[in-house]
């Protein structure tokens, strides 16, 4: 992290001021991420102990690197300031929840957004309306309070909720685009879209099979 921050300071015109502001902002985002992660972990623990089905397979979380934050602000045409980071980049703190079935996705959505100290800012449902390349996931932008010694700071966290199959496809898609600096060959994109359709069909079949199994309990 130290080397990342050093690189970050070389990218900006007033490093001493923005460097300290950035460190404080990263503290806030890390705290916000822990808040949301704790809420999801508690739900996960409850389902394991009390209920006969746990919708959460696993949880991943991450904070954007300083370099990626700078690149995104530049791409959007904004000056490199802490205020612009907070205002114009919504996915600095991100958490991903992996589920077994598509029905679990909306169950988690209801549970997490019904909590009194979470404010839902935006929903992008790429399951009901997939991206042209076949990407499917439910994206939530929420705001959670971070309680400091002298004030409470509302911070944004992006939550992505998807099935195991959707996550596998998204991981492959990311690797393909990382491999090719520019757009991958069309035949690869076409095959990737076919895989996305297959994943969607598999999710639907697995959900139907699970619902049939539940009838025997």
* Per-residue pLDDT at 184: 87
* Per-residue pLDDT at 13: 52
* Per-residue pLDDT at 22: 85
* Per-residue pLDDT at 81: 86
* Per-residue pLDDT at 150: 87
Calpha distance 121→178 (Å, rounded):
30
CA dihedral 72, 74, 76, 77 (to 10 degrees): 170
* Per-residue pLDDT at 216: 79
Cα angle 181-82-13, degrees, rounded to a multiple of 5: 75
User: Chunked in runs of 10, what are the mean pLDDT values of the chain (217 residues)?
Assistant: 52 63 90 95 88 86 89 90 90 96 94 95 97 96 93 95 96 87 87 95 94 81
CATH code reported for the domain at 2-164:
3.30.460.10
Calpha distance 94→65 (Å, rounded):
12
* Per-residue pLDDT at 15: 58
Q: How far is CA 127 from CA 137, 166, 167, 187, in A?
A: 5, 10, 12, 24
Sign of the four-CA dihedral 12, 17, 18, 19: positive
Give the pTM.
0.86
Calpha distance 24→19 (Å, rounded):
9
Helical ranges in the chain per DSSP H: 2-10, 15-49, 66-76, 82-88, 102-113, 164-179, 186-214
């Amino acid at each position: 992290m130290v080397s990342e921050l050093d690189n970050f300071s070389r990218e900006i015109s007033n490093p001493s001021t923005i460097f300290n502001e950035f460190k404080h902002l990263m503290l806030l985002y890390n705290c916000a991420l822990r808040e949301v992660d704790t809420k999801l972990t508690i739900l996960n623990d409850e389902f394991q102990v009390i209920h006969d089905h746990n919708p959460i397979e696993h949880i991943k979380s991450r904070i954007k690197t300083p370099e990626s934050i700078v690149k995104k602000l530049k791409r959007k045409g904004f000056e490199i300031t802490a205020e612009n980071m907070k205002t114009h980049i919504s996915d600095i703190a991100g958490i991903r929840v992996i589920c077994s079935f598509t029905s679990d996705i909306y169950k988690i959505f209801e549970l997490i957004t019904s909590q009194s100290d979470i404010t839902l800012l935006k929903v992008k449902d790429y399951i009901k309306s997939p991206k042209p390349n076949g990407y499917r996931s439910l994206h939530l932008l929420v705001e959670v309070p971070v309680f400091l010694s002298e004030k409470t700071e509302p911070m944004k966290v992006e939550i992505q909720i998807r099935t195991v199959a959707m996550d596998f496809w998204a991981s492959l898609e990311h690797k393909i685009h990382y491999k090719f600096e520019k757009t991958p060959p069309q035949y690869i994109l076409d095959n990737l879209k076919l895989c996305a359709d297959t994943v969607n069909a598999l999710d639907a079949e697995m959900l139907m099979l699970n619902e049939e199994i539940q009838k025997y309990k």
